[in-house]
Amino acid sequence: MKQINYGILSTASIVPRFIQGLRLTNNGNIKAIASRDIAKSEAFAQKWNIEKAYGCYEDLLYDPDIDAVYIPLINSLHYEYAKKSLLKNKHVILEKPFVLHPEEANELAELAKERHLFLTEAVKTPYLPIYQNIKQIVDQKFYGNIQYMDFRQSYTGGSYITGWNTMKEYGGGVLIANEAYFFTMAEFLGGKVLSCSGSATFGKNGTEDQCCVTAHLENDILAQMNVSTRILFNNGLTIYFDHAKIEIPDFWKANTAYIYQDNQCIETLSFPCEYELQYELQYYNDCIQKGQIFSPVTPVENTIRYIRFCNEIQKSWENN
């Protein structure tokens, strides 16, 4: 199969994981890296054995050897550079969050359709082997129906609590940083979200540093997301069924899950992997080679709904 040549806009901390994941696929290749600092991109390219380095994002987009672009820039730049990439006839994988407003997402989706280019938000969770197995348990109703899902993420250090991540003008805040996993997995496992609401506390820059979001799904399922940068709690996902529960530590990068009945662990599910991004990237590469515009697993139409939910929740906070 023809290798898909990728260019990466940014040397952000997630980029090495993307590179290592892509190199485990059978049809993807890192061709170029771009930074606003040519010395930085050249050093990065040398370290990771990347053929080309650019000191300007636009220069990479003009490269005819690049088939697809991965964009892990700050949130407020996602729309601008996704649009520029599509206009240069590049397939686009956008890091979370996709964009900040549903109007932007709609425009990008129409542009992708017009130019027959693949476009997706990089949400790895539904492609992980652990969730493929859990999805079978859900669909077969082995423990009855899902009644409730509890998603928990917390962090008190690292880039999520500093710099642009805490600034509203750059698209910071814990809601937009974590909503993709929550809404995607709630619907992947439980069905369509019908409505949602949320509460938050705010840090010194006016962005939320904690939030609680509750979603009402079809089949009368409730799902809740709790995120905090103030304190650490037991990160993970708990899925409550009629006759059991499944505990999934660090659900966004999970390779292990525990099934409980009557407070006793009756089974451990284990799917170790070297780099968790490899599964979504293999899927995206296959979509590109098949000529698909959106991922059937995480279609952009779903992403647009999730962004709209976030905007409505944020508006409710402003009104209060």
The predicted pLDDT at position 2 comes to 84
pLDDT over 90 (residue 280): yes
The predicted pLDDT at position 87 comes to 98
- As a whole number of angstroms, the distance between CA 98 and CA 299 comes to 12
- Quick: pLDDT tens for 131-140: 999 999 999 9
- Quick: pLDDT tens for 7-45: 999 999 999 999 999 999 999 999 999 999 999 999 999
- Quick: pLDDT tens for 181-201: 999 999 999 999 999 999 999
- Quick: pLDDT tens for 231-244: 999 999 999 999 99
- As a whole number of angstroms, the distance between CA 251 and CA 80 comes to 30
Domains of the chain in sequence order = 4-124+277-297 (3.40.50.720), 129-272 (3.30.360.10)
- As a whole number of angstroms, the distance between CA 134 and CA 257 comes to 9
pLDDT over 80 (residue 226): yes
- Quick: pLDDT tens for 43-93: 999 999 999 999 999 999 999 999 999 999 999 999 999 999 999 999 999
236-241/146-154 β-pairing? antiparallel
- As a whole number of angstroms, the distance between CA 296 and CA 50 comes to 31
- Report the share of the chain in percent with pLDDT over 70: 100
Q: Which of 29, 30, 35 is nearest to 11 (CA)?
A: 35
- 166 — pLDDT class (breaks 50, 70, 90): confident
- Report the share of the chain in percent with pLDDT over 90: 91
pLDDT over 90 (residue 319): no
Which phi and psi (to 5°) does residue 221 adopt?
A: -95, 140
- As a whole number of angstroms, the distance between CA 113 and CA 119 comes to 9
pLDDT over 90 (residue 288): yes
Q: What is the pTM of this model?
A: 0.95
pLDDT over 90 (residue 162): no
pLDDT over 70 (residue 277): yes
User: At a CB cut-off of 8 Å and minimum separation 6, what does 74 contact?
Assistant: 164, 170, 171
Lowest mean pLDDT among 160-174, 204-218, 263-277: 160-174
Q: Which of 87, 88, 105 is nearest to 96 (CA)?
A: 105
pLDDT over 70 (residue 147): yes
Mean per-residue pLDDT of the chain: 95
The predicted pLDDT at position 274 comes to 83
The predicted pLDDT at position 1 comes to 58
Q: How many residues does the chain have?
A: 320
- 275 — pLDDT class (breaks 50, 70, 90): confident
The predicted pLDDT at position 161 comes to 75
pLDDT over 80 (residue 159): no
